[in-house]
Structure formats: C-alpha cells, structure tokens
Amino acid sequence: MLIQINDPSAPKIDKPLKYALGIDFGTTHCVAGVVRNDTLELIPLEGESFLLPSVVSYQESGVSVGKRVGSDSNAIFSIKRIMGRTFKEADTNVQGHSFQFENTTSGLALKTEVGLKKPVEVAKDIFQYIKKQAETYLGQEVLDAVVTVPAYFDEVARVSIKDAAVLAGFNVLRLVAEPTAAALAYGLDEGKEGVYIVYDLGGGTFDVSVLRMRQGVFQVLATGGDAFLGGDDIDAMIVKHFLTDIELSAVQRREALTHARHVKERLSSQLKATFDTPLGDRCVLKREIFESLIQPFVTQTLNIMSDTIEQSGVEQEEIQGVILVGGSTRIPYIHAQINQQFKLPLYQTINPDDVVAMGAAQQAHLLTNGGDSVLVDVTPLSLGIEMMGGIVDKVISRNTPIPIRKAQNFTTFQDNQTGIVIHVVQGERELAKDCRSLGKFTLTGIPPMPAGVAKVKVVFALDADGLLTVGATEENTDIAQEITIKPTYGLDEHSMAEMITESHKHAQVDIEKRLLEQTKVEANQLIHAVEHALSVDEELLSDIEKSTILKIIQELQQSLHQERRGVISQRMELLEQSTEEFAHRRVQKHLKG
C-alpha cells in the first residue's frame, strides 16, 4: 500500500474559490449577483450601478453594451421581447417597437450598421459583457451561471436564452423561472413560509406564480402570464396617447419611448409629469389620466392572476400575501388594484429590480456548494403530439412539476404503415395549427402490420430547466428514435458551433479594438488635463515651451484618427515628458499660495 507523505512545513496552496453567477436577463435591465464568503453581493455592471441597460449598439468601431444612445438608430433595446419569436409573432405582439428587423430564411433578424444580427447573437453580447464585468469584479474566471427566464416563456424562448448564455461562455447550471427566483430570495432572506403569489411585471413580460414555501422546499403550484405584456407596453400607451396617427422614424420612436418611460417612473411619486415629444412639444400627463390609460392593462394582469390561483387549487384563505417583482410594480395604481381585488398583504421589502438576480445567485450557490433548499418548478405550457386530423394529444399538462418523464402509447393509422411522423407541439389549444410547433422527427423501419397492431411508445423527458427531449420506440422491434427539441427556426448545433468558432477566430482582433478604444479615451483625458493647466498657468512657460507642448498635443490629436495604438501611446508618453517640468512649476506655485 502506498502512503502519500506531505511535508508539514511546505506552504499550503489555496485553491481559488469557484463562483457561480445568478443572472436576471431582463427586458429593460440586467442584474447579476454572486454569493461570496456566504454573503450575497450584486455585481456592478455599469460603473457603480448594478443595473445594466439591456441595450446593444452595433457600429463599425465595435459593439457597445449598456449605453443608451438616443440618436443611435443601430441601438437595439428590449431584445428579450423577441427571443425565440417568429417575425409574425414579433410584428403582431410587440406593439410600438422601434426594432428594425426583417424575415430571413433562418428566422427573424435585426438590422444593424454591420449587417443582420439574430436575436440570440444580440443577447450573447449582453451575456458576454456581464461575464467580463463579473470576472473583473471577482478577479477570476467565471464559467457557471443560473439564468432566469419568465415563467411563461415557452420552450423555444427558453432554448434561445440558454443558447445565448452558452455562446457567451457560460455553463448554464439551470434556468429558473423569475417568480421562483424572487420567492427564493424572500424565502431564504426573510424566512417566509406558506403559500404566496408572485406578481412579476417587468419591462417585456408578465408572470404570476403560486408557490408554497415550507422548510426549505420551494414548490411552484401553478404559473400563468403573458410573454408579450410588460412595462414597454405602458410606454407605448403614453406615446400613442400624445402622438396618435403621427408617423415617427425609428430614432424618433425610440426617443419617444425613452421619454415615456421617464414619465411613467416619475408618476410613481408625482401627480403629474411632462412628456417631451420628438416633435419639440411639451405635454403634461396627470396621474389620473395615466391610470385610466393603463386600467385595461392592469385588469388583464389581475384576470391572469385570478385564473392562476384557481388552477393552483389553493383557497384564498391559504394565501399569505403577494410578492411584487419587476420595476413596473412600483406604479401605485397596481398596488391599489391588487389590494382592492385580493385584499392580501403586499411585499416589496427587497428592491423589485434586484430580487430576481438575488434569488438566482442563491440558487447558483446552492447548486455549486450544496444546501438544504429544494426548488420544485412547473412547466408553464402543455406539451403534446399532433394526431390524425390535426388534433393535439397532451402528454404533459401545464403546471406539472418538473423534472418529469412521461410515456404514452400510440399506434399506426393505416395497414402496412412503416413510419410515423412525431410532431411535438406546445400550447393549450386543441388543434396543432394553433399551438407552437417545437419540432418533428420520423420513426421509420416499422415492419408492415395491420393498422393498430404496432405499439409505439413515446417518452417526453422534461428536465429541471424546462427543456425537452422526446423519444419514440416501436416495442415489437425495439426500433427507436430520439430528438432534443430545438426551435425549427432557431439556432441549430452547427450554427452555434460556427458562431463559437467565429468568436474565437476574431478574439485577438476584438481585444485589439478594445485596447485601442481605451487608449483613445486615456489620450483625450490627458489632452484635456494639459489644456486646462495651460489655460490656468500658461505664464509659467516660455513661448518656446508652450509652442512645443501645443505641437505635441496637435500631433497626438492627429494620431487619434490613425487607429494605431502604438503611435498614440508614444505621443502620450512624449506629452507627459514634455509637461513634467510644467507640472513641477505648478506644484511649487500653488504651495507658495
């Protein structure tokens, strides 16, 4: 037997801690958190702010994430609203959008200055930015993440979100429904137990979930919502109120929507707010008019909430309260209407912008380090198979706890039928044409038999992320076929591999572009500092000295247009050297008073 002997005097090498992020990929903002030293921390993503605007701008100079550039017609806002959507769905349901997109053979694509971009590529750039910011903050590489998705996102949209995170370099430990993540934050932080409603109204989606929290078990009893209902729609209502029948350019519409969002936010604490139109007019919106505008919108959310409570099977007396999540829940009218209809306590002690990321970070920590809490989620929509005549046979019903594996038996319809097409759909409608098509595959090689003799067992396996695998086996012959569901117009494995290869291929070029931009910023800061010093203390220099410094400044400014980082750095160094004596004289002057 071999015994390993360690030198007790040898220094111990501590392995770096492995961190896992919790990411709330939001329509309006993104937030990321991490548990470090048993303490939950939010990560600064935009300067000192934890909120990263979900905005991506594509220009020849590179990709910019998080910058709100009102006049930039290439800036893409609210990308989450069209993740996994067809052109028709986006065009029909995302009212008042400022997207410039077109329908391609591979699905919806957005127009940018550098060409067409798929929604998953835009989301990838946001995830990639979050990853870099987190790694800078934590001082080490971060690979693992729990990513939240709206509870009512269907299979296609969930796959798209996960694909985007994977393309950005994340190992996605789990997809967690946003209301569930919020409940997790309240349950672990505040020790709440019992049945709670989570009312989650974000920028692009509305979700409501009924959860039972008891002794570390977080069980989703039912979920409902609308993937095309959110704060963006309220902004569009304000724009429509003031600019009915007025044609706006894409830039004007984006500017109008931005002003409308500010008006909406101000009306949460003020009785009136001013709306500046892109046409130069100033209009006043009073809170009572605003509330009348959004009344149908709020009523729609309350109806969904009532239906979800009914589907959960819980009695009103069992419900302990309503947890409010999402920035749009700051609207006082929403509080008043929930209170009036349901007469339940409202909870918003945790910042509604942060709570989802906090819950996701806690789940990420539990998955990587272990813990006593168990998360039991449900599937938001039914999954089934198209039968003869186009009807749907539901294999897994909505609000079924996941993960789940469920089998159902089918047979052939005609004599000597040697193959069966398995068409998997998602939705609550009775006809396949009214549901979302998730994919098709064919089970072939069935021996010729009379109709009804073949025994085809179809198995649906839904994992903890809500992602689906479907398999079919002819039990007389053991012929089998399996498919992992991917959207038919989404991102296939080849496309993903190609995009990853492209990102690696251009990695060095991207780094050089980033370094060049950073050097330009530093050069401009240096020029500004020297010019300010000259305006204050130029009498400390001789005419020759001043002329020399101004000449170097001019050369440095010229080099900024040459896109050569080495030349810029050299001229910056020359300017610093030529102003050393000037800086010394200024110090002496100000010390003497």
**Catalytic residue list:** 24, 80, 178, 200
Contact 94, 230 (CB under 8 A): no
Give me the helices (H) in 267-327, please.
Answer: 287-312
Contact 207, 241 (CB under 8 A): no
Could you tell me the two tokens for 268? 């949460």
Question: What φ, ψ does residue 178 adopt, rounded to 5°?
Answer: -60, -45
Within 52-184, strands assigned E span 52-53, 55-59, 62-65, 75-77, 101-104, 107-112, 115-117, 144-149, 171-177
SS3 117: strand
Contact 64, 56 (CB under 8 A): yes
Could you tell me the two tokens for 451? 């109709």
* Dihedral sign from CA coordinates of 348, 350, 354, 355: negative
- Round to whole Å and give the CA distance between 183 and 218: 8
With a CB cutoff of 8 Å and minimum separation 6, the contacts of 473 are 456, 457, 459, 479, 480
* Alpha carbon 519 to its chain's center: 31
Helices (H) and strands (E) in the chain, counts: 14, 29
- Round to whole Å and give the CA distance between 523 and 527: 6
> Of the candidates 249, 205, 244, which has an alpha carbon nearest to the alpha carbon of residue 79?
205
> Of the candidates 67, 102, 254, which has an alpha carbon nearest to the alpha carbon of residue 110?
102
> Of the candidates 554, 550, 558, which has an alpha carbon nearest to the alpha carbon of residue 533?
550
> What are the beta bridge partners of residue 39?
36
Contact 415, 450 (CB under 8 A): yes
DSSP 470: E
Could you tell me the two tokens for 425? 């759909």
- Round to whole Å and give the CA distance between 464 and 176: 8
- Round to whole Å and give the CA distance between 306 and 290: 24
Within 383-418, strands assigned E span 383-386, 392-396, 401-402, 404-410
How far the first Cα of the chain sits from its last, in Å, is: 80
> Of the candidates 81, 107, 83, which has an alpha carbon nearest to the alpha carbon of residue 96?
81
